[in-house]
Structure 1
Amino acid sequence: MTIPQERRLVTAIPGPKSQEMMARKQSAVANGVGTVMPVFAAKAGGGVLEDVDGNRLIDFGSGIAVTSVGNSAEAVVRRASAQLQDYTHTCFMVTPYEGYVEVCEQLAELTPGDHAKKSALFNSGAEAVENAVKIARSYTKRQAVVVFDHGYHGRTNLTMALTAKDMPYKHGFGPFAPEIYRVPVAYPYRWLTGPENCAEEAAAQAIDMISKQVGAENVAAIVIEPVLGEGGFIEPAKGFLPRIAEFAKENGIVFVADEIQSGFCRTGQWFACEDEGIVPDLVTTAKGIAGGLPLAAVTGRAEIMDAPHVGGLGGTYGGNPVACAAALGAIETMREQDLNAKARRIGEIMKPRLTALQEKHDVIGDVRGRGAMIAIELVKAGSKDPNPEFTATLAKACHQAGLLVLTTGTYGNVMRFLPPLVIGEDLLNEGLDILEQALATAA
């Protein structure tokens, strides 16, 4: 790494150069494109991001789970640079190239299940989800799609319809695509009859709603994140996902695991659905797949993937050769450095410390997550009422102390932690120290 792995604050956050650039952004960039932290990046690598003022920040965001292998992993840079020397683009649909095929071969090997698999490559997570729906509809000859409370699937028209949260993702952007049906998810912390009843009751409610309100025979696909990301890092209660997957299989419905945020070692397994032994019909991936370059995929059962007619899938930039080279470098890094083990180690460090903070601060209602996909849900003291105001205050305090953190959740009251899987344990613990101090100050 070319950047020292240490936090350093030389100016206030944001510094003068970042403030100057923010003024330029405000005059040139559409207001709808927001920013979490008002600093402009100059360098990044490992677990550190350096801004244009020379401040070095501890990174607990990974570009929203994208740079799991770091922002400048050697294998990613090496492979992408070599590809840049050869060519940047031909369009796989015009003249194909080996990198695209090799990424699809790797996906067939890594995704759950030993059945025959095929993939198609795209640019973004939303594109992957939208194409998964297309593929499922083509295969089943059905139209309805079932999604879940608190789910997030993208910002295109169809994926906004699939997404549960209005602000900021859907507000004012309708009308949305039809034939989308939303059912309950097993959210243990907020299940009214308690977490011990959550899985069974939520599955029963979801299946009852599908059967009565939609008709199982009309459903093309059930789409769910094995760990719900933007909804608040919700881990569905154990037993819920297997029951939904079983229902899908019984009724000829394509079960789609949206692993865009949770995939590629993030939870300590290649894919989060492996935790309960689920083998999806289709898996959507993006974010962590290519070390920061735009790439996404739909991978699944060969007979389902082959349902659309020739020419029915694709896109000008889908599976760009430089992005494919980066993906092969990212997967190489994940294998060679055993980033699944590193993700589990991150969880082993973070969860006990966050649980200890929960015991001290009653504003922390819940600590949850797996591996390096961890969150705290913040509430008003003595209740489970969401506390988005305190969440924003806490995040700002962390930012000013040199710790990049992200907020999320349907109610805007969840702080999520997505450190790069290559972060050093010293930086990880220092980041938690900063969080602890910020909590004490803000509370």
Structure 2
Amino acid sequence: MYVGPSQHAHAWRAFFTARSWEPQLFADLVERDEIGAAFFEIETQINGLYRSLQMSQALAQRFGLSVDEDRRGEVELKARWLSLNAERFREALGPAQRELDIGLMQWMRRASCLSVVIGAGATMDAGGPSWAELVRRLLLRVIERGREQTEMRPRPGGTRENAEFERVVTAVEHLAAGEDLRARAVLASIEAGQADTEALMEGAQICYDFLGQHLFTDLTDILYENDRRPGPIHRAIAELAPAVNVPDRGGLLPGWDAIITYNFDDLMGEALDEAGLARAAYAMRGDELAGDPNTLAREQGQHALHQGIYHVHGYTPRRLFLITHVRFVFSTSQYECTYGGSRAGIVGEVFARWLANPVHHALYVGCSFADEEMNRLLRDAAKVLPGRYHYALLKWPGSCRHSEASAMELALASAPYLSMGVRPLWFDDFGEIAGLIRRLA
């Protein structure tokens, strides 16, 4: 399917600049054009409407002028109109909608306007644990091993001038009876496959309350056990990370506008290292957003081009790393601390720069959309920019193959995601993900 500028661009320009928009004229334009060209013009116009509004708002703010609410309302109305009137033509494509969206995202990525958001599925693709499995493993450690109390003691035979010390376990503390029962109940629900998000958060909270920062030592051990390395999804994303030349945006820019991850592990960063690319991981250290550049990025300097990886929920690399002040979102209390008030730090950065920014789109990979706080970010972005969508690679839930699904089946499966501003790109097997990512080259 061809996706790109229309040979009837002049007709589209005339329509978009007309005083009033007639549905029948719009339908005639779509039906006369190649469908990929028509949607290229429609999506470009939606983004252009919001971009012009963004620029006028910035100008008004610079000179202390009030924002024209009528202008904002007009832009939102036009964007909604275009999206709603185009939807029936999109639905008529059936499974070929995926080809259309891949074509649209190719243009976005080549302009460094596409970010990728990575969920637990990427870690699982590399042989790592799901969130449920991670909580299960940590609960088992807490229940069976407890928490060791240690102290440093001098080794026998040392002198005052040449003393050697070793860490000695002095006691082992276990969960109190009530907490032990709670932990075992959550563990049983996970092992029975019945644990929902709330149960997993409760299990994580029990582990965090008992172990404190020591929890993340165990967490790191599990994430990198058996010398785990980046998986196919990480490597496919890394292949598209080399810089792209975007003349109308000033020249060279990262291949991905941003890599945003919900995962603690640094497997995505390691895939970029293997590809020989400068990159930096960003996470919250206390109340500040802090960067952890790789060797190449440090050698080139902080103002040189590098691929950013934003760890929304926390960051623990394979190497020795001081995590004392790194903020993790793993338990209920951490969620409330991070998301309970106004958006700040890395969450606010992700929302303002990428999710609610009219010239930037995101592709969600390996995400289950079970995290309601992250879904709320998408819903809020959809309220800011109605009629505009991000994308997600999702496993087709139907009994038949995705390519055999009817338009109605596709519409019903897509509806929950569309309601929060996300267009699904369905696949039948998880092994397809890396190949679909590579098609964005």
> TM bucket by the smaller chain?
under 0.3
Q: TM-score, length-normalised on structure 1?
A: 0.26
Point out the structure with max Rg over C-alpha: 2
Q: TM-score, length-normalised on structure 2?
A: 0.26
